[in-house]
Amino acid sequence: KQEVTQIPAALSVPEGENLVLNCSFTDSAIYNLQWFRQDPGKGLTSLLLIQSSQREQTSGRLNASLDKSSGRSTLYIAASQPGDSATYLCAVSSIGGGTSYGKLTFGQGTILTVHP
């Protein structure tokens, strides 16, 4: 059974810092990995999707890497801003028989606070 762990559970940084959020998963047979952002009381917004054949994806100040063999992904946020404050969730889609490709297993998230 796939298990996803995110470290740290919470992080508080001053504005302008570069930071790294970590995600680990137990089964390396994955189809893809997705990073989401969730604002309080809101739904999930997809930030980056990394296919199993890729090593990293970039979008603006965000960079996500994937090391399938070690079961790890990192989300790097450059020059953090107060508007980046949110919960960041990592989710993996495991390779399985039949229709299992679409099913995501989520970590518990990292609560990020960026203070001015």
Partner 1 sequence: NAGVTQTPKFRILKIGQSMTLQCTQDMNHNYMYWYRQDPGMGLKLIYYSVGAGITDKGEVPNGYNVSRSTTEDFPLRLELAAPSQTSVYFCASSYLGQGNEQYFGPGTRLTVT
Task: Give the residues lining the site for partner 1 (CB under 8 A).
Answer: 4, 31-32, 34, 36, 42-46, 49, 51, 89, 91, 93, 99, 101-104, 106-109
Is the CB of 61 or the CB of 103 nearer to partner 1?
103
CA distance to 9, 46, 49, 92, per residue, from 95 (Å): 27, 20, 16, 10
Is the CB of 37 or the CB of 80 nearer to partner 1?
37
Is the CB of 43 or the CB of 60 nearer to partner 1?
43
Q: How near is the Cβ of 18 to partner 1 at its closest, in Å? A: 25
At 36 the three-state DSSP class reads: strand
Number of CB atoms found within 10 A of residue 74's CB: 17
Q: How near is the Cβ of 54 to partner 1 at its closest, in Å? A: 10
Q: How near is the Cβ of 52 to partner 1 at its closest, in Å? A: 10
Q: Is 16 left (phi over 0), alpha (psi -120 to 50) or beta?
A: left
